Amino acid sequence: MGKLVYLMNVSLDGYVETLDHSLDWMPVIEEVHRWFSDRSRETDAFLYGRRLYEVMNAYWPTAESDPTATDYTIDYARVWNATPKIVFSTSLARVEGNSRLVSGDVGDVLARLRAEFPGELSVAGPTLAAEFIRRGLIDEYRLVVHPVVLGAGLPFFPGLDTPVDLRLTETRRFASGAIYLRYVPV
């Protein structure tokens, strides 16, 4: 059965994007980018909501032809393009490349995906992840916390009616000052 992992970059105050939906606050750091590529190699499928899928799909399918691309961004592009993407959306009519569109109850869809993919399923995007968090379906929380305070924006965690108790299982400090934190539900 597939393991659902929620992994994203996050600001020190807990946001993944600014109020105007920008990700420009997050610097492209080679060490962190290579680390994300390695984690992506361990992923059987990426789970996206519509908005983050559109952001990712706007660049990564053609990143190898970008004359400003670095070897580590090209490496990530290759991994991203090869990995199946499952897009949860009721508003998209179609998706492209190695992607498939799904809709319906997220718990039911996840149960089918867990049976289909025996390894890691990486949910990206806090709006979609919120649905899984509220139902207690996340198996691991992985945050790369960057030393920046945004003050407002889209939070990594949704508002919850009851606390989610977690146990820290791994940490790593990057030279940039970013910190990786890995938690599992208690």
Confidence of residue 56 (pLDDT cuts 50, 70, 90): very high
| pLDDT for residue 9 is more than 90 | yes
pLDDT at residue number 140: 98
Helix (H) or strand (E) holding 41: helix 30-41
pLDDT at residue number 28: 85
Backbone angles phi, psi at 147, to 5 degrees: -80, 65
Q: For the domain that residue 79 is a member of, what is the CATH number?
A: 3.40.430.10
Which residues fall within 8 angstroms of residue 154, CB to CB, at 6 or more apart? 15, 16, 17, 21, 126, 127
What is the SS3 assignment for 115? helix
Per the structure, the complete domain to which residue 105 belongs is given by: 3-185
Backbone angles phi, psi at 20, to 5 degrees: -95, 20
Q: What domain count does the chain have? A: 1
Contact 113, 47 (CB under 8 A): yes
Q: What is the pLDDT of residues 148-186, one digit of tens each?
A: 999 999 999 999 999 999 999 999 999 999 999 999 999
173 forms beta bridges with 179
pTM comes to 0.95
**d(C-alpha 158, C-alpha 147), whole Å:** 21
| pLDDT for residue 89 is more than 90 | yes
